[in-house]
Structure 1
Amino acid sequence: MKIIRHPYFLLFLILCVAFIIRTINLKDIILFAYDQARDAQRVYNMVYKGDIKIVGPETDIQGIFNGPLLYYMLAPVYFFSNFDPNAAALLFVCINVATILLVFWASKIVFNKSSIALIASLFWAFSFEQGFFSRYISNASPMSTTTTIFFIGLALFFLKKKQWGLPLSAIGMALSIHCNFYFIYLFLFYPICFILFKGKPKIKTIALTIIAFMVLLSPWIITELRWKFVGTRSLFAYFIHQGTSVSATNFLSFLLSIFSRYYDRISQGIYFSFIPHKLLGFSVMAMLLIYSIVKKRSSTTLFLLLWTLNTLPLFAFKSGVHSVEVINGSVFVPLTIIMAFGISELAKIKVQKIPIFSAICILGIVSYGFISFVKNNFTTHSIHTGEPSLLVNAKKVIDYTYKNADKKDFGICSISEPLFMNTVWSFLYTTYGKQKYGYLPYWTGQKQTLNDSFIPYAKKKYKTKFIIQEPMFGIPLWVLRSVYYVEDGQNTFVEKKEFGSYAVQQRFFVKENGGNLSNYSKNLTNSIMEDLSKIPQLSCDNIYE
């Protein structure tokens, strides 16, 4: 009985529950769009072509790249799984579940109570938002893990006076920058913490911290030296542009916009994990944070405040990262700890020696998370902005094309996001289609320049061709109209099938210009021709010598 009530045994049970929740209905029910295929294809080239990477995925700032850590994490997983994306998703599930250990540790450092640490761990296990991150094959997926290592390191050094905390923070920060370059702003917390908490590092500690930075950030150092500081110049240009745009803005409106965007992102994280109302959830969290600061009046609660507000400066800049869920990566752990603290305080209010109110709150939050999983059939893609590009549906598209081709050569083309990129189909036809059906189709779309095409280019017209339409999020309707207009003039429409958010058309080639454009009015034709004159690449009928 004593073992069952031990905090570490309870923590083990929480880890098991979290893993089970995140792996139910996992197979093929994962997002697999351009970013996932691009990264998988680059790992494929690393493994089979020796194409070693010193930079990672692109950012939304031209000339700035994330770190290559993602590729080296995925390489052994993809290699041993025969490049199955489900194995990659399982890797990130394990990382997300293991983060519960960091949540427990961080809670103990801040409040020194196992009860708070266990409640926070339980909330993380049942968080619907963390369920989303756990299956997300992306450099952004481990951000909560790496940033928590950073802040734990800072807390150990500045609050607990542990010298090894400083190099640990350096490791956490460097890994965070690998996940997303915008985490370079975490450097700001070193001078802030030295001013507020008066840390005194030894020479050995400083040396280890610098070595950790230099080793883990070496890909950027090599890149900058090799390409004449292209990243530094790009970053400098970005900040100059930001400064110009800010100075032209009413300062009060600018500040309000920062807090408005911060509220929007934070409240969404609270909504998907704790309280199903954004304003109420944000208000409760703010009150709990203020209460913890007023009640304890200690350096630990001041540190928790800094951690909770750590993303606030980012909203002063224009960036695509503001509009996506990953911005909450470094904030979700302190939010979870604050909520756990608030509920532990409620435990002081007892009815007949039973902490009934805190028990109701814990049960309510856990039930809310579990019901969210159940309602979505233990999938989490409903959080994702845009229509989900699920692997299961992409595989159905591929199966459909092979079965309708009847073991004969055929052509494929895709209307994709980004436009003209065949990366998703290049990877999946190679690693799934070829393995299952024994041969590859031929690509009739545009020549690939940014990424390799694993699918061979068409050298002739094929009797059967398929046009794959990816989920329409980000694809203009006029692009769809123009592609189908060109096709209708060249080939005969057979049928259209839909698989989730994907659609695929089967076409037959009979003779040159053997299609039918009689359904297009003169005005519509003129409009389409105008679009085609601007972007002539909107054709799925290309032949390559």
Structure 2
Amino acid sequence: MRFFILLFCIGLALRIYPSFHHIVFPYDQARDALMFQDMVNRTHLPLLGPVTDIPGVHHGPLFYLLMIPLYALSNSDPWLPVFFLMLVNLSTMIPLYFFTKEVFHDKRVTIITLVLFIVSYEMISYSKWISNPVLAVPLFATFLLLLWRVWKTQKKQVFWLGLVFGLLVQSEIVLAYLLFPCYIILSKGRVHIKQWLLFHLGVGVGILPYLVAELKYHFQATNALIHFLGSTAQKNPLVFLTTFRHGISILSTLVRNNLFGLPPISALLTFVIITVLCFFAVRKTIPSWKPALHFLYGMLACGVGVLMFGKSPEIFFFAGFGSILLIIAAVFLVVMMKEKQWEFAAFITCIILASQIALTVEQARAGNAYIQAQKGVLFDQRLQVLDAIYTRVSSDTPFTISVFGTPYGVRTSWAYYFSYYSSRQAVILPKWYGYTVNGFIGDDILPHVDAPARVHIAVYEPEFSIAPQYKDEFTAYQNAHTTIVERFTLNNHSIEIRKPK
């Protein structure tokens, strides 16, 4: 127990480093924070969760239901939600402990797996990302444990397996492809109707909000998914080839960010070599571990299923799969120990630990995050931008702001940043001047005006995907109505202090 507590404390310290506010916080996180505040004010609980990129399809509300009270308690400060997600992330150690203990019956596999988990750059990064897929990390490890138990004749666990699967789907709807290994395991041996009913009852409880939403909104998500899958089936086979290549790239990144901090392809090749060596070494040294390895390899292969939809996969479609990589690596190291290859096992262990810690420190110092579309959109970096603005604008001076950012013309992100900063620093809020798109949450925080104030701020966010002419139009509009007084760059943001012409 003391060792477990020590690992927990080390893992928590690595996750807090360098601060609670060193978190990726672009539009999605700002939108959610404002939405949570609105839900608290209206005492409204959501039936649907975050939107997906398939129109009409949402994730489940589980993430929202957990975040709403945390944002309420912290007065919309993300530090408490982040701290909670760090604890949720570290709770993954519990199912990993029981899985490795029950499957391998060797304390060394358990200890090495947990040590690798707490230093994994991917696991650390997921703990600091306020988004629905992060819940899949502990849920996936629990899913592995329950699936193994059901496979090993503990059929009474089928309800809980179904429940955890349903919660996984709520956290990331793409993980519905994990239904396939469930059906394969349930089909082994004699098929009992009671077990199938209990499994689907558990699934129904896990996705209950989906079922209610489908009835309320006339099967909106079902129809949208049918339409999406129908259009996917008509795609050119070359699209699937491109998707598969992208999937291999993601697998390479998973290995890099969990085990070997090498260039992704080199990391993948290293893992493949270790996997092959592990397979043959287990056959020779510990044949009783063969079913466990087959189980883990089979679960990795299940991830290929998501590539069959012709949709370009994202790294978080495989949230939790890093746990499988860590377990396989731990098994390999223990097998090397059993074969008296102590120096080699120690060398590989040191390489993994050093590379993962170095990757965490390196990325933090560079201001990078694991899932990041733009540089400079970490929360503490945006606060530094506001610090720089307010050092040039006195706290009681009215001013306007224009932002060339993403989504272009939408005020939501900067509405949250300014609202957060204003409530803590007792400064006035600016008005929004220039191109704007109405109808988004936060519009009332930065009301639009038709003329720039005596002090006007123009902000160019770090590079993002948009046609170049929009930036030219934005700049031309600013130059037509205002004159630059000062220009500076901070955290990849270009900031201009302007005055009206």
* Among candidates 401, 407, 416, match of residue 412 of structure 1: 401
Within the candidate set 46, 56, 62, 1:69 is matched to 62
Q: TM-score, normalised by structure 1?
A: 0.84
Equivalent residue runs for 1:391-470 within 5 Å: 391-406=379-394, 407-444=396-433, 445-459=435-449, 461=451, 462-470=453-461
Scaled by the length of structure 2, the TM-score of the pair is: 0.90
Shift of 1:138: 0.8
Contact 1:89–1:134 (Cα < 8 Å) also in 2: yes
Q: What is residue 221 of structure 2 aligned with on the other side?
A: 231
More displaced 10-residue stretch of structure 1: 111-120 or 495-504: 495-504
Local SS of the residue matching 1:90: helix
Quick check: 396-405 or 183-192, which moved more?
396-405
The alpha carbon displacement at 1:181 in A equals 1.1
Q: Is the 8 A contact 2:243 2:311 kept in 1?
A: no
| 1:432-462 deviation digits (Å, cap 9, x = unpaired) | 2233124322122414324342414134532
> Mapping of 1:143-182 within 5 angstroms?
143-159=136-152, 161-182=153-174
Shift of 1:218: 2.0
Structure 1 vs Structure 2 CA RMSD: 2.4
Tell me the distance in 2 between the aligned counterparts of 1:413 and 1:61.
31
Query: Contact 2:455–2:497 at 8 Å: present in 1 too?
Result: yes
Q: How many Å separate the matches in 2 of 1:380 and 1:270?
A: 22
Alignment partners' CA distance in 2, 1:494 and 1:472: 23
- Is the 8 Å Cα contact of residues 310 and 331 (structure 1) preserved in structure 2? no
C-alpha distance 92-390 of structure 1, shift in aligned 2 (>3 A): same
**Counterparts of 1:64 and 1:235 in 2: how far apart (Å)?**
7
TM-aligned CA deviation for residue 207 of structure 1: 5.4
Q: 1:379 to 1:328 in 2, by over 3 A?
A: farther
Instruction: Establish whether residue 369 from structure 1 lines up as the match of residue 356 from structure 2.
Output: yes
How far the C-alpha of 1:488 sits from its partner, in A, is 0.5
Which of 318, 322, 336 is the matching residue for 2:310?
A: 318
Aligned to 2:252: 267
Distance 1:282 1:315, change over 3 A: farther
Q: Deviations over 1:159-209 (max 9, x none)?
A: 2x22442122222211211111111222222221123x3366683x65554
Query: What is the CA–CA distance in structure 2 between the aligned matches of 1:458 and 1:194, rounded to whole Å?
Result: 58
User: Residue 251 of structure 2 contacts residue 268 of structure 2 at CA under 8 Å; is this kept in 1?
Assistant: no
| Code of the aligned partner of 2:458 | I
For the pair 1:498 / 2:495, whether they are aligned, the reply is no
Q: Distance in 2 between matches of 1:215 and 1:379?
A: 43
Give the deviation of 1:296 after TM superposition: 4.4
For 1:381-392, list aligned pairs within 5 A: 381-388=368-375, 389-392=377-380
For structure 2, the residue ranges without an aligned partner over 5 or more in a row are none
1:115 pairs with 2:108: yes
Partner of 1:60: 53
For residues 363 and 94 of structure 2, the distance between their equivalents in structure 1, rounded to whole angstroms, comes to 27
Relative to structure 1, the CA distance from residue 356 to residue 274 in structure 2 (aligned partners, 3 Å threshold; closer, same or farther) is: same
Tell me, yes or no, if structure 1 residue 142 matches structure 2 residue 167: no
Aligned equivalents of 1:199, 1:291: Cα separation in 2: 32
Equivalent residue letter for 2:246: R
Q: Percent identity?
A: 20
Q: 1:65 to 1:382 in 2, by over 3 A?
A: closer
C-alpha spacing 1:272/1:443, structure 2 compared with 1 (3 Å): same
Q: Aligned partners of 1:418, 1:466: CA distance in 2, in Å?
A: 18
| 8 A contact 2:162–2:206 mirrored in 1 | no
Report if aligned partners of 2:282, 2:335 keep a CA contact under 8 Å in 1.
no
Secondary structure of 2:134 counterpart: coil
1:281 paired to 2:270: yes
- The worse-fitting range, judged by mean Cα deviation, of 164-173 and 51-60 is 164-173
Q: Is the 8 A contact 2:400 2:455 kept in 1?
A: yes
Contact 1:158 1:198 in 2 (8 A): no
Residue 319 of structure 1 aligns with an amino acid whose one-letter code is K
Q: 1:288 to 1:412 in 2, by over 3 A?
A: farther
CA deviations over 1:391-423 (Å, ceiling 9, x no partner): 112112223333333212211222121222221
Aligned partners of 1:347 and 1:121: how far apart in 2? 17
* Aligned partner of residue 37 in structure 2, secondary structure: helix
Cα deviation digits, residues 520-544 of structure 1 (max 9, x gap):
xxxxxxxxxxxxxxxxxxxxxxxxx
- 8 Å CA contact 1:263–1:282 kept in 2: the answer is no
Aligned to 1:220: 210
Q: 2 CA distance for matches of 1:173 and 1:87?
A: 27
Pairs within 5 Å for 1:343-382: 343-350=333-340, 355-377=342-364, 381-382=368-369
Say whether 1:185 aligns with 2:177.
Answer: yes
The structure whose Rg is larger is 1
The aligned runs of 1:36-115 (5 Å cut-off) are 36-115=29-108
Cα distance in 2 for partners of 1:411, 1:134 equals 36
Aligned equivalents of 2:429 and 2:446: distance in 1?
8
- Aligned partner of 1:471 among 462, 479, 485: 462
1:220-251 deviation digits (Å, cap 9, x = unpaired): 11221122111111000111111111xx426x
